[in-house]
Amino acid sequence: MIDKLKARPVSHSRTILSELMIPSYTNFGGKIHGGTILNLMDKVAYVCATKHAGNYCVTASIDSVDFLSAVDVGSQLSLYASVNYVGKSSLIIGIKVVSEDIKLGVVKHTNTSYFTMVAMNSEHQPTEVPPLILETKEDVRRFLETKKRKELKQEHKNKYVALKLKDDFECDIEKLLATENCLVNIK
Ligand SMILES: CC(C)(COP(=O)(O)OP(=O)(O)OC[C@H]1O[C@@H](n2cnc3c(N)ncnc32)[C@H](O)[C@@H]1OP(=O)(O)O)[C@@H](O)C(=O)NCCC(=O)NCCS
């Protein structure tokens, strides 16, 4: 029987997903729909996480996704995924997305994002993942950076939750919104 918790190197689960961007993927502006790219990112994150975990994984959260450049129809989109960090049952997958004009060979960086995946057992409960073997300095750098990013995200989340105003909040509304692009018209 396979030892499910045997440590695995980053290279074991490194995954590349490549797909031709066809006309049915376009938005109203004639460029590739952001949702199509997110869908592919979720797929590559799933493959990478599941290869490392040896168990089915679900997507728990996605870090901010900034689309740096539009993707053209007819280009080849390639998604490079690797396990950057593992916790007890969670894994953080770093994904770099690039698009290539296949006639001219011009490559553009579309975006980079981090997906948190959680390994699940047959009872659909979070289950332990194998330790990650860091074989290069790059692996160590990514692990440490991702750990720091996870901590910052938790700090931000705590502040974000604490920020919620009550309906009967007290403040000088007009002053607070003076430079915003809105009109207050409370009846
Ligand atoms: C993700 C999910 C399994 C977490 O379940 P849970 O009961 O909160 O589990 P736990 O509290 O034991 O957390 C398990 C791990 O997930 C991590 N986690 C849970 N929610 C998270 C979130 N929103 N962001 C990042 N990590 C998260 C925890 O930090 C923990 O990590 P660790 O074991 O490495 O320390 C559960 O919320 C779920 O099933 N969500 C729906 C997932 C889904 O349907 N995704 C879309 C389709 S795949």
What is the pLDDT tens value at each position of the chain, 187 positions in all?
557 789 999 999 999 999 999 999 999 999 999 999 999 999 999 999 999 999 999 999 999 899 999 999 999 999 999 999 999 999 999 999 999 999 999 999 999 999 999 999 999 999 999 999 999 999 999 999 999 999 999 999 999 888 877 777 778 888 889 999 999 898 8
Interatomic CA distance for residues 73 and 9, integer angstroms: 36
What are the chain's domains? 8-176 (3.10.129.10)
Count of positions (residues) in the chain: 187
Using a 6 Å cutoff on CB, does residue 141 contact ligand 1? no
Using a 6 Å cutoff on CB, does residue 87 contact ligand 1? yes
Q: Which two tokens stand for residue 147?
A: 């750990």
Using a 6 Å cutoff on CB, does residue 121 contact ligand 1? no
Using a 6 Å cutoff on CB, does residue 116 contact ligand 1? yes
60 CA to middle of ligand 1, Å? 5
**What is the phi-psi region of residue 65: left when phi exceeds 0, alpha when psi lies from -120 to 50, beta otherwise?**
beta
Which residue's CA is the closest to the ligand 1 atom numbered 1? 60
- Give the HSE-up count for residue 5: Cα atoms under 13 Å, Cβ half-sphere: 6
67 exposed, middle or buried (CB, 10 Å; 0-12, 13-18, 19+)?
middle
73 CA to middle of ligand 1, Å? 35
Using a 6 Å cutoff on CB, does residue 90 contact ligand 1? yes
Dihedral over alpha carbons 76, 64, 15, 91 (to 10 degrees): -170
Atom of ligand 1 nearest to the CA of 89: 33
Interatomic CA distance for residues 14 and 49, integer angstroms: 9
Atom of ligand 1 nearest to the CA of 90: 34
Backbone torsions φ then ψ of 76, nearest 5 degrees: -105, 125
174 CA to middle of ligand 1, Å? 41
